[in-house]
Structure 1
Amino acid sequence: MTSSADHKPLKNAPKVPAVAKPSSSVLLISPTNQILFLHRVRTSSSFASAHVFPGGALSKTHDGPIPAPEDPMRHTDGPAYRLAAIRETFEESGILLATSKKTGRLFTEISDEEREQGRRDVHSGKVKFIDLMENWGAVPDVEGLKPFTRWITPENVPKRFSTQMYIYLLPLAQISSASDSSSSGLKAEEDEIVIPTPTHDGGIEHTAARFLPANKWINLARQNRIILFPPQFLLTLLLSTYLAPTVTGPDSPIPSLSQLQAERDALLSFLYKPRTYAGEPEVSFAEACISPVALGKGEYGDKGQDGVGGVGRDTAVLVLDRPGNEVQGRGRRGLKEWVVTTKFVKTGPSDVDVRRREDVLGTTRVAGKL
């Protein structure tokens, strides 16, 4: 078990940083373009009490060979990362991102009882995930995963990961009357969840799993009603512009299929299109590699201020343009355009938000002087 301290930056990085453990995570998009989050409990093995995307560490048993720490491919999208993303999503949410060998469509040819037993068997190691897929006549849809940044935990954090983020779009054609009524409206957080609570570990890791529009998750985080770590906050905020932006309340109408598809097309264009910032080329979101760095006093704002734009002395400013020492010299780049501001408290990050780089660091630092 870990605590929030395992994810809080230390004042000084250790001489020998912890090895970043390879992991995968999925921003799972519903047929109505909403995002799935899992709520971890206080005793969770990582990111306790936070809301997180489905995901977890790579497994040699289930996912195949994992590149060694010194291998450049360890921090690159690859087969093990993709299979782990699908396996962990299945274990944690019960949603299987696979196609049927019979129909070529999303695999739905098992009963609820078979699905739950499969989740337990994979989690316990009773059966290999790929063997279960073969027995069921399912093929993991690794090609359906869209890379959406990699995050390498900074060296001054005790528990470190190298996490490949993906977007997966569940088919629009899978909308049913039951799912429409339960997943499209904005109900109170106490309402019945949309996706069954994960049961593979008796509810030890998660207490809830549900879809909501990205803008709703961001509003809850800004009110500190839920905990989102900086990567989850930034990526959800970016998606909120494109997915279900008009669904803002319980009475919001469900967008038409053509509107939903248009939202997805705009998102994918945003994901892959060439970008520039301050007149210089920026890396695409599909290729970005980010190792957030918390700036120290005097590294942001004017000398006589706590910070530009109302950034107080108790607020950390995380720059996102560093790719991490593990990939230095390999052409990987982070994102310059934004910084994350947050306060690190006992329970985890609070008051998380994303600001334009120049609004916090000042225009003199936009051109790469920091």
Structure 2
Amino acid sequence: MSQAATPPKWRTSASVILVSRDLGKSEDYQLLMLKRSDATAAMVNQTVFPGGLLDSEADENVAWLQYFEEFGVPQEALRRLVLIRDDRPAILAPQGTGCYDRFFKRSRIWAREITLRLTAVRECFEEVGVLLCRNRNQLDFGAVTCVQDVPDLEAWQRRVHNKPSEFLTLCRELKVVPDLWALHEWSAWASPGFMRKGFGFKCL
């Protein structure tokens, strides 16, 4: 009897599908995409949505929860993002156990609905310079996506690229929070088996 094949170890990633209505054309929309360079490790020269790998140290850091609280974001606003269901894709499974009431008292964020949103917003900023965020006057969490101008944009993009945890530093300096509430789940999928590196994506 042959032994079952070992399942691939997918690297968890997130992408942003950013859509805007084409002004003057009520039925047309524009999509934000980028072309990967020939120096990238995967999907060379392909046109893709901005996104990339989840960074555990940066995106699962409980310092984000502390910052949201300091900023005035109600815990309930974050809880509304989290869906506890058995039929969720594996990429969205909680990365930890414990009582739901202890959600904000852990050493790292275990809710993928939050960490992958942070990944998506961070990668979108790093790759295309678009910062999806809200200031204190925009904490009504409406459907409109908010975008922030960033002084010294290219320098900050390099800082975040070299050290993803610098994204929190950027948000602190600009006095904004990542706009997790304007993102909506679109799909969860894995790269085809023939690719040299496997990625599991959550598109928002």
**TM-score, scaled to structure 1:** 0.36
Distance 1:22 1:89 in 2: 16
Alpha-carbon distance, 1:154 to partner: 4.5
Tell me whether 1:62 sits opposite 2:102 in the alignment: no
Q: Any gaps of 5 or more consecutive residues in structure 1?
A: 1-13, 66-71, 167-370
Instruction: Say which of 141, 144, 148 aligns to 1:108.
Output: 148
2:31 and 2:172 mapped to 1: Cα distance? 29
Select the structure of larger CA radius of gyration: 1
* 3-state SS of paired residue (2:186): strand
Aligned partner of 2:34 in structure 1 is 38
Deviation at 1:162, TM superposition (A): 1.3
The alignment status of 1:94 with 2:90, answered yes or no, reads no
* Aligned residue in 1 for 2:161: 123
CA distance in 2, matches of 1:134, 1:74: 32
CA displacement, residues 297-342 of structure 1 (integer Å, 9 cap, x when unaligned): xxxxxxxxxxxxxxxxxxxxxxxxxxxxxxxxxxxxxxxxxxxxxx
| Alignment of 1:79 onto 2:132 | no
Q: Equivalents in 2 of 1:101, 1:47: separation in Å?
A: 38
Alignment of 1:15 onto 2:5: yes
Cα shift at 1:160: 1.2
Q: What SS does structure 1 have at the residue aligned with 2:16?
A: strand
Change (3 A) 1:20 1:100: same
Which aligned segments of 4 or more residues in structure 1 are displaced greater than 6 angstroms? Answer: none
**How many residues of Structure 1 are paired with residues of Structure 2 in the alignment?**
145
Matches of 1:165 and 1:148, distance apart in 2: 5
Report the CA distance shift for 1:131/1:151 in structure 2 as closer, same or farther (over 3 A): same
Distance 1:78 1:132 in 2: 22
Higher relative contact order (CA 8 A, sep 6+): 2
Greater strand share, structure number: 1
How large is the RMSD of aligned CA atoms in angstroms? 2.5
TM-score with structure 2 setting the length:
0.63
Identity of aligned residues (%): 29
Q: Secondary structure at the match of 2:38?
A: coil
SS at match of 1:91: helix
Alpha-carbon offset, residue 110 of structure 1: 3.5
Assess, with a 3 A threshold, how the Cα gap between structure 1 residues 154 and 47 changes in structure 2: closer, same or farther. closer
Displacement of 1:35 after TM fit?
Answer: 0.3
Q: How far apart are residue 50 of structure 1 and its match?
A: 0.5
Any gaps of 5 or more consecutive residues in structure 2? 23-28, 62-87, 93-111, 140-144
Quick one: distance in 2 between partners of 1:126 and 1:81? 14
CA deviation digits over 1:89-148, x for unaligned, max 9? Answer: 00000000111224558243543x2x2221111111185212210111111001111111
Aligned counterpart, 1:53: 49
Question: Is contact 1:18–1:158 with CA below 8 Å preserved after alignment?
Answer: no
Q: 1:132 aligns with which of 164, 170, 173?
A: 170
